[in-house]
Structure 1
Amino acid sequence: MGFQQDKQLSAKGERFSSAGFILAAIGSSVGLGNMWKFPYITGLYGGAAFFLIFIICLIAVGLPVLLAELAIGRSGRGSAASSFVKAGGGKIWERLGLLQIIAPSMILSFYVIVAGWTLHYAILAFSGRLFVNNDFAGQFGTFVSGPMVIVWQAIAMLITVWVVIRGISGGIEKFNKVLIPGLVVLLIVLMIRAVTLPGAGAGVSFFLNPDFSKLTAESALVALGHAFFSLSLGMGILITYGAYVDKRQSLGTATLAIGAGDLIYALIAGLIIFPTAFSFGIDPGQGPSLVFIALPAAFSEMPLGWLFGGLFFILLAIAALTSAVSILEVPVAYAKERWNWSRSRSVWTMALICFILGIPSALSLGMVPALTFGGKAFFDWMDFIASNILLPLGGLLTTLFAGYFWKKAADAAGLTAAWFRIWLFMLRYVAPVLMLLVLLYSAGVIKF
Structure 2
Amino acid sequence: MGGFFMAQNKHADRFSSTGFIMSAVGSAVGLGNMWKFPYVTGQYGGAAFFLLFMVCLVLVGLPILLAELAVGRGGRGNASSSLTKLSGSKSWGALGFLSVAGSFFIMSFYGIVAGWTLHYAVLSFTGELFSTQDYAGLFGRFMNSWLPIGWQLVVMLVTALVLIRGVSEGIERFNKVLIPSLVVLLLLLAVQALSLEGAGEGISFFLKPDFSKLTAESALVALGQAFFSMSLGMGTMVTYGAYVQKSQSLGKATIAVGVGNVLYALLAGLIIFPTIFVFSIEPTQGAGLVFIALPAAFSAMPLGAVFGGLFFVLLAFAAITSAVSVLEVPVAYASETFGWSRPVAVMLVGLLCFLAGVPSALSLGEDPWLSFGGRALFDWVDFVCSNVVLPISGLVITIFAGYVWKGVADEARLSQAWFRIWLFMLRFVAPVLVLLVLLYYAGVIRI
Same fold (TM over 0.5): yes
Residue 112 of structure 1: how far off its partner (Å):
0.6
Structure 1: give runs of 5+ residues left out of the alignment: none
Q: Which residue of 2 aligns with 1:434?
A: 433
User: 3-state DSSP class of the match of 2:402?
Assistant: helix
Q: Which residue of 2 aligns with 1:231?
A: 230
Q: Which residue of 2 aligns with 1:414?
A: 413
Identical amino acids, percent of aligned pairs: 65
Q: Which residue of 2 aligns with 1:100?
A: 99
Paired with 1:422 and 1:256, the residues of 2 have a C-alpha distance of 15
Q: Spell out the pairing of 1:312-391 with structure 2 (5 A cutoff).
A: 312-366=311-365, 368-391=367-390
Q: Which residue of 2 aligns with 1:112?
A: 111
Residue 216 of structure 1: how far off its partner (Å):
1.1
Q: Which residue of 2 aligns with 1:193?
A: 192
Q: Spell out the pairing of 1:42-191 with structure 2 (5 A cutoff).
A: 42-191=41-190
Structure 2: give runs of 5+ residues left out of the alignment: none
Contact 2:74 / 2:242 at 8 angstroms: preserved in 1?
yes
Contact 2:2 / 2:338 at 8 angstroms: preserved in 1?
no
Q: Write out per-residue CA displacement over residues 200-237 of structure 1, whole angstroms, 9 at most, x where no aligned residue.
A: 10000000111111111111111111111110000000
Give 1:350's aligned amino acid: V
Number of equivalent positions: 446
Paired with 1:393 and 1:386, the residues of 2 have a C-alpha distance of 10
Normalised TM-score (structure 1):
0.98
Paired with 1:367 and 1:341, the residues of 2 have a C-alpha distance of 40
Go from structure 1 to structure 2 and tell me whether the alpha carbon gap of 1:33 and 1:334 turns closer, same or farther (over 3 Å shift). same
RMSD, aligned CA: 1.2
Q: Spell out the pairing of 1:8-47 with structure 2 (5 A cutoff).
A: 9-12=8-11, 14-47=13-46
Q: Which residue of 2 aligns with 1:308?
A: 307
Paired with 1:217 and 1:404, the residues of 2 have a C-alpha distance of 29
User: 3-state DSSP class of the match of 1:98?
Assistant: helix
Paired with 1:213 and 1:389, the residues of 2 have a C-alpha distance of 31
User: 3-state DSSP class of the match of 1:415?
Assistant: coil
Give 2:408's aligned amino acid: A
Go from structure 1 to structure 2 and tell me whether the alpha carbon gap of 1:3 and 1:154 turns closer, same or farther (over 3 Å shift). closer
Paired with 2:381 and 2:130, the residues of 1 have a C-alpha distance of 32
Contact 1:9 / 1:337 at 8 angstroms: preserved in 2?
no
Go from structure 1 to structure 2 and tell me whether the alpha carbon gap of 1:3 and 1:128 turns closer, same or farther (over 3 Å shift). closer
Normalised TM-score (structure 2):
0.98
Q: Spell out the pairing of 1:253-332 with structure 2 (5 A cutoff).
A: 253-332=252-331
Paired with 2:175 and 2:199, the residues of 1 have a C-alpha distance of 32
Q: Spell out the pairing of 1:241-256 with structure 2 (5 A cutoff).
A: 241-256=240-255
Give 1:315's aligned amino acid: L
Give 2:34's aligned amino acid: M
Contact 1:7 / 1:78 at 8 angstroms: preserved in 2?
no
Paired with 1:67 and 1:76, the residues of 2 have a C-alpha distance of 14
Q: Write out per-residue CA displacement over residues 211-269 of structure 1, whole angstroms, 9 at most, x where no aligned residue.
A: 11111111111111111111000000000000000000000010000000000000000
Paired with 2:11 and 2:253, the residues of 1 have a C-alpha distance of 22
Residue 367 of structure 1: how far off its partner (Å):
5.5
Q: Write out per-residue CA displacement over residues 119-148 of structure 1, whole angstroms, 9 at most, x where no aligned residue.
A: 010010011100111100000010011111
Residue 7 of structure 1: how far off its partner (Å):
4.2
User: 3-state DSSP class of the match of 1:87?
Assistant: helix
Contact 2:178 / 2:317 at 8 angstroms: preserved in 1?
yes
Paired with 1:14 and 1:335, the residues of 2 have a C-alpha distance of 17
Contact 1:73 / 1:243 at 8 angstroms: preserved in 2?
yes
Give 2:151's aligned amino acid: W
Paired with 1:140 and 1:296, the residues of 2 have a C-alpha distance of 11
Paired with 1:7 and 1:86, the residues of 2 have a C-alpha distance of 14
Give 2:25's aligned amino acid: I
Paired with 1:301 and 1:367, the residues of 2 have a C-alpha distance of 30
